[in-house]
Structure 1
Amino acid sequence: MHIRTFRAASLQDALEEIRNQMGTDASVLHTRQVRDGWMGWLGRTYVEVTAGLRGVDDAKTPDDSIPQADAEVPVTVPIRSGYMQAEPTFPGPFEGFREQLIDAGVSPKTALRWLKSTESFTVGLGDSINEPWMDHLQRSIARELRIGGPIRTQPGAKHIVALVGPTGVGKTTTIAKLAAGFRIQERRRVGLVTIDTFRIAAVQQLEAYAEIMDLPMEVVENPSQMQPAIERLGDVDLVLLDTAGRSPSSDARIDQLVELLRMAQPDETHLVMAATSSSSTIQSVLKGFAPAHPTAAILTKLDEATSTAGVLSAITASDDFAGIPLSYLTNGQQVPDDIQVASAEPLLSRLLPGSFVTNQMEAA
């Protein structure tokens, strides 16, 4: 068998080069990611593919003078135009992580991307790997996670922030936590506006919070009332808009929300989602609320999430999605304590069941 090794920027490029130089009868014997540079640092990552082409004499008794293929029996994959590479195998720990990630709701494509990135990272470390494999996986995912930072206000400059999202994710409670944090800790003048008139209890709940914290509050029922309501709040530093929960699949309700936001002209729009949601649910929410042009996302109910792998797979950056920046995380119902500025560690520590680590989250 004639054996050659090809190196390219991507697997598809390597397969194309193999087809051009060895023909369509060649077979893939082995693939791996490699990195150049000193000890793998400051270098580029390549895909290295070893391919073989069986000759007409290969069926006969081999001549000892002719180099043979490795003694181990390789899994050969014929090179055909348009053929996608067979699913690769990883070192022992990685193979187990792939199964766990998929079981936790991560798509096979995303799990493969994360593990290939992790493998590339560990190859660059050479023999100096002393940390658990999970740490390397978490670092690889963290590189795709976007952290946007908290809401920032200036005294005397009215800053309008809207919270949008589906029903049941905790928008009203999150509004109360943010209001308390800015009112008590940041010493800002805060005003509240609710347009959640679909649920009377939601209005009463926010009114109770406003009364306790001595905050002005307005109720808006239609777009024409929005600007006058904001003006009636007076000279506040921060306006927090609480919106009604909407199904991301209801185009009419989303259109109503967009019109209300158009009249409010918020400086920021935060999409509130539950960390307990599946990857497919998060993707549906991101798509459904895209017309509202969210600038950041808040993940709630982190304390109830036994695994965050599915959620992270939906919000992290990939080839076809820029990712959405995270602003805050919440982990309970206590106002104002159970909220913190978003960071990677609380999410990654809950990546998979069994990797759960209890974190004492500081108030924002």
Structure 2
Amino acid sequence: MHIRTFRAASLQDALEEIRQQMGPDASVLHTRQVRDGWMGWLGRTYVEVTAGLRDAIDANGRPSLESDDLEENTFAPEEDASPRQSVFMHSASMLAGPLQAYREQLIDSGVAAITADRWLRATESFAAGLGETHGQPWMEHLQRSIARELRLGGPIRTQPGSKHIVALVGPTGVGKTTTIAKLAAGFRIQERRRIGLVTIDTFRIAAVQQLEAYAEIMDLPMEVVEKPAEMQPAIERLGDVDLVLIDTAGRSPSSDARIDQLVELLRMAQPDETHLVMAATSSVSTVRSVLRGFAPARPTAAILTKLDEATNTAGVLSALSSSDSLPRIPLSYLTNGQQVPDDIQVASAETLLSRLLPTTLQNQHLDAA
């Protein structure tokens, strides 16, 4: 085997250099973080990666090339994978035993192989930076590595005497109306704010009745809007409130006409915040479709619902954190049940990652904030 060691500013840079100099068939054997300078002081931190490449075998079962004679142009990328993906796939078998098991579980949970490998390489690099080589708390390192990619936006902020408008949008069946009720109750009871409700979900009579019931119980003013022109007068009729919560009809992210109607209603409402509501039980492809379909509504944050029904969060987190082609919006809240106002909490990496894989969920229950 031809073995070489590469040093670069990041793991991604090192893998790219390996691909360029050794070809896509190279395997990563070891990674660690090193610091230059006098005895490691006052220097820069690098990632050092040791890679190996097996000698080619001829028809007689003998090495066809000496290891020192291997040339970069001897190797070609695999047809079904990009050069960078090939390096990841060939190096995946070199992961530590527990990490290899985690890789399989991540992929089974819907995480793309290239994303799983990126997370796990970052995990190895993180552990190497701590100077640890054996007996790793691998799950903790994996959780920390993924946490670095998460965007958390914090809760809705209100000021007494200043009307703050927040709209909730999203597909059908994700729990927007119940989430509106939880937010309204929380701000009314805990924050002692004056709350007004608006619903434009007139496609479902039951949704209007449900929100009306919550408004009556909490003694909150509520308005029903059917057309964009009715939005501003309805908000004004709510009076001197601190927070206006707007409930919208569920829409298919693939229905351009319905999304256009939503955008027009939001344009008239002029919300300070728009939260895209998605279910934690959704598949990776569904989350991507929702992010893409509701992009015209310009969501400023995302709410993840039904966390109590999700077997794991790996897939949905990969869709939220790893795409270069979709908008990356911060998570604001998590919901984990139907109880109003208890089953909602501000989004935290700890809660999301405690449910990363199915094996970490046995006999566990999420405590509401």
Q: TM-score range by the shorter chain?
A: 0.7 to 0.9
1:225-254 residue CA offsets vs partner (Å, 9 max, x unmatched): 000100111111100000000000101000
Moved more, 181-190 or 26-35: 26-35
CA distance in 1, matches of 2:74, 2:126: 29
**TM-score of the aligned structures, taking structure 1 as reference length:** 0.85
2:285 counterpart of 1:289: no
How do residues 220-231 of structure 1 correspond to structure 2 at under 5 angstroms?
220-231=225-236
2:149 is paired with a residue whose SS is coil
Counterpart of 2:19 in structure 1 is: 15
C-alpha displacement at 1:44, in angstroms? 3.1
Residue 346 (structure 1) shift: 1.6
Label 1:332 to 1:42 Cα distance change in 2 as closer, same or farther (>3 A): farther
Deviation at 1:12, TM superposition (A): 2.4
| Alignment CA distance shift 1:128-1:15 (3 Å) | closer
> For the residues of structure 2 that align with 1:319 and 1:306, how far apart are their CA atoms?
26
* Contact in 1 for aligned 2:111/2:284 (Cα 8 Å): yes
1:316 matched to 2:321:
yes
Shift of 1:77: 11
RMSD: 2.9
Which residue in 2 is equivalent to 1:299? 304
Hey, what's the Cα distance between the residues in 2 that align with 1:220 and 1:109? 46
2:368 — aligned with what?
Answer: 361
Residue in 2 that maps onto 1:79: 75
In structure 1, what residue type is equivalent to 2:18? Answer: A
Note the C-alpha offset of 1:3. 5.6
Q: Deviation string for 1:45-97 (max 9, x for gaps)?
A: 3544345778xxxx999xxxxx989xxxxxx9953378723411201011000
Structure 1 runs not aligned, ≥5 long: 20-25, 62-66, 70-75
Give ranges in structure 2 of 5+ residues lacking alignment: none
Instruction: Report the alpha carbon displacement of residue 188 of structure 1 after superposing the two structures with TM.
Output: 0.5
Q: Which has the larger radius of gyration?
A: 1
Alignment of 1:77-156 (within 5 A): 79-80=75-76, 84=83, 85-86=86-87, 87=89, 88=91, 89=93, 90-127=95-132, 132-156=137-161
Provide the C-alpha distance between the structure 1 equivalents of 2:101 and 2:2, rounded to a whole number of angstroms: 34
More divergent stretch after superposition (143-152 vs 83-92): 83-92
Number of residue pairs aligned between Structure 1 and Structure 2: 341
Partners of 1:131 and 1:7 lie apart in 2 by: 23
8 A contact 1:29–1:77 mirrored in 2: no
Name which of 245, 263, 279 aligns with 2:268.
263
Residue 192 (structure 2) aligns with: 187
Task: Measure, in 1, the Cα distance between the counterparts of 2:133 and 2:236.
Answer: 61
Verify: 1:347 aligned to 2:349, yes or no: no
CA contact (8 A) 1:15 1:79 kept: no
Q: Which amino acid aligns with 2:17?
A: D
What is the aligned partner in structure 2 of residue 33 from structure 1? 31
